[in-house]
Amino acid sequence: MRSAWVVLAFGLGIAAFCAHDPAYAQSADAVLCDRVAADPDDPDRPADTKGVATIAASDVATAIKFCRSASGGSRRAMYNLGRAHAVSGQMTEATAAYRKAADKGSTTAMVELGVIYANGSGVPKDEAQARRLFEKAAQAGNPRGAINLAVLSEQSGGKPMDQVQKRQLLAKAAEGSSPEAQYQFGLMMQDGAGGPKDDAGARAMFEKAAAQNHPGALERAGAFALSGRGGPKDSDAGKAYLQRASALGNEDAKVTLKRSECSITIADKRGKRVTDLCF
């Protein structure tokens, strides 16, 4: 298979980008668009592109220029263009770009467009349309689509999302690299929500998300390791997880870590923990 190369000169340095599949061949404009505006959570993002959580204000004009130029043949560039317009407060332009990208199959654009409709940001509020967009993205395996669909169902005052459906969507999303989807799927398995309780499966999901520094997953992985839930007991690993979660500000991890340092637990007649004695 042929390799398509794009070589760009930046000052005195030269950066080379290779795509081994012609479908992923990139123009110089597309490379520059990704460089300043790619979403790190976009499944369309090239593997060799880190992405930026938020487009820097100083890069907005550059992003709009190059993403617009590259958007004709790229749904990813069109989505990135929408991000750039949104950062600059141009919601009409952002909505139009997201809609075009979504029509081309960008699940991340579907999610962003759904958020716009759910909040009524520059368009009439339309929860039904938001639900359709989230559901379409979720069915395609987008983790944010699954999570937003569940949140919308729970907050809209309507019928809560079916837990079996929610678990199925999160299970599909968790197959990817999303730590949030893995964490949420782990919580459902931990609690037996929408399906059988599965401590071993939950622990595996928490550990996958913890490897990506998800605070909640670090806390859960630590608690599971300390207690031997879903696998062998490992106090050292448990404390290490909890210390990392605590450093990221997780309050539950701080409490659990403190409790792990206490040698005596006082329980009532029913065996429920009352307090801990630390020395």
Is 230 a member of any domain? yes
Is residue 77 assigned to a domain? no
Q: Residue 35 falls within a domain, yes or no? A: no
Total domains in the chain come to 1
Average the pLDDT over each of 68-77, 81-90, 137-146, 238-247 and give the range with the smallest value: 137-146
Q: What is the pLDDT of residue 198?
A: 98
227 part of a folded domain:
yes
Q: With a cut of 80, say whether residue 12 has pLDDT above it.
A: no
Query: Which of 124-133, 144-153, 244-253 has the lowest average pLDDT?
Result: 144-153
91-105, 119-133, 255-269: least confident range: 255-269
3-state secondary structure the chain: CCCEEEEEEECCEEEEEEECCHHHCCCHHHHHHHHHHCCCCCCCCCCCCCCCCCCCHHHHHHHHHHHHHHHHHCHHHHHHHHHHHHHCCCHHHHHHHHHHHHHCCCHHHHHHHHHHHHHCCCCCCCHHHHHHHHHHHHHCCCHHHHHHHHHHHHHCCCCCCCHHHHHHHHHHHHCCCCHHHHHHHHHHHHHCCCCCCCHHHHHHHHHHHHCCCCHHHHHHHHHHHHHCCCCCCCHHHHHHHHHHHHHCCCHHHHHHHHHHCCCEEEECCCCCEEEEECC
249: containing domain: 178-279
Reported confidence tier of residue 20, pLDDT bands at 50, 70, 90: very low
Residue 232 lies in a domain: yes
Q: Is residue 259 part of a domain?
A: yes
What's the pLDDT score for residue 7? 30
- On whether residue 194 sits in a domain, the answer given is yes
CATH code of 184's domain: 1.25.40.10
Residue 237 falls within a domain, yes or no? yes
